[in-house]
Amino acid sequence: MSRRIGVGVDTGGTFTKIVSVSPEGKPLRELQIPTLAADGPRSFVRRVAEAVRWEQSALGAKAEGIGLAVAGDVDAERGMVRFSPNLRKFDRYPLRDALARAAHRKVLIANDANMAAWGAYVVELERKARNVVVVAMGTGIGGGVVIDGKLFQGSTGSAGEIGHTTVDPRGPLCACGARGHAEAYAGSYGIVRIARKLLRGKKSLLHTLCPGLKELEPRLIAHAALEGDKIALAVWEEAGRRLGLAIADAVYLLNPDRVLIVGGVSRAGRLILDPIQAVLRAQPFKTPFDAAKVEIASTPNLGAIGAGLLALE
Ligand SMILES: [Zn+2]
């Protein structure tokens, strides 16, 4: 009996992860190749196709399909990237069809956070929830929505962009150019910005952990907070409360049974989860908030896993 596998490709600005998955979302093999974004999409497609062939022969199985996850504005229907800040040369290139030809496999393409949402839904929730909002915390804040057990991508593939919902119209600039988006507070650059603001003229363990505050990053701020540093704790409190406002809006809009927080920055755990939950608990309209269980998902590589799984759907 031949095994069913899907291959997920998570295209980052620097590295691309290629993960072969079972229909349950179990990662069977992982391979990382350099993206070499400056070389352009043709070289990328050729190397991904090679890597997929390698994975298939190592597993002794043919992939049913390849899912391609890309950060940025992705046109799933036409199978191309409209705009991706880290992959400028890929814009408008027919990525899906080129990879399908090179790898002789069916290919689908979507935004990486949407793919991660699907991965989280299958792997973390084992499809047991019905309506799910996934918040992906990294440099930016991405997101995805599962409605009635199906990934909902919206009219242009842009659904679930919770990071770009406004929590303060006069707030700091978001990477997208707007003011006061949730990402401007709780994306890693937003968290670092809050820290720099709160640290001004104050004593903190962060000055010792990170001399000159040159390489300040969420991991260090979490470390200081867990050591009891008051400023670091206040940073997570503010980031979490702002993100909590965006999540509250999503709960009002979609009435999910789960909110899953994923991504590298979510490793801060309770530091980010507690203030989010405080905001949700404080909402006066209790019914949707009593129903929405919020948790942090710990599975790594959900973008690639979700892409591989979606290729199997
Ligand atoms: Zn934004």
Nearest to 297 by CA among 71, 143, 125, 130: 125
Ligand 1 center from residue 167 Cα (angstroms): 11
Ligand 1 center from residue 65 Cα (angstroms): 32
Ligand 1 center from residue 10 Cα (angstroms): 22
Whether pLDDT at 50 is above 50:
yes
Ligand 1 center from residue 66 Cα (angstroms): 30
Ligand 1 center from residue 242 Cα (angstroms): 13
Task: Name the percent of the chain lying above pLDDT 90.
Answer: 95
d(CA 272, CA 195): 14
For 178-223, the pLDDT digits (tens) are: 999 999 999 999 999 999 999 999 999 999 999 999 999 999 999 9
Taking the complete model, does pTM exceed 0.95, yes or no?
Answer: no
Residue 64 lies in a domain: yes
Nearest to 53 by CA among 43, 62, 44: 62
Q: Which amino acid is at 168?
A: D
For 233-247, the pLDDT digits (tens) are: 999 999 999 999 999
Ligand 1 center from residue 14 Cα (angstroms): 22
In terms of DSSP H, where are the helices of 227-269?
A: 230-254
Residue 197 lies in a domain: no
Ligand 1 center from residue 70 Cα (angstroms): 17
Ligand 1 center from residue 175 Cα (angstroms): 6
Residue 102 lies in a domain: yes
**CATH code at position 26:** 3.30.420.40
C-alpha dihedral sign at 265, 270, 275, 279: positive
Residue 307 lies in a domain: yes
Residue 162 lies in a domain: no
Number of domains, the chain: 1
Ligand 1 center from residue 149 Cα (angstroms): 27
Residue 136 lies in a domain: no
Residue 134 lies in a domain: no
Ligand 1 center from residue 173 Cα (angstroms): 8
Q: Which domain holds residue 51?
A: 5-118+302-312
Ligand 1 center from residue 162 Cα (angstroms): 9
Q: Can you tell me whether residue 136 is helix, strand or coil?
A: strand
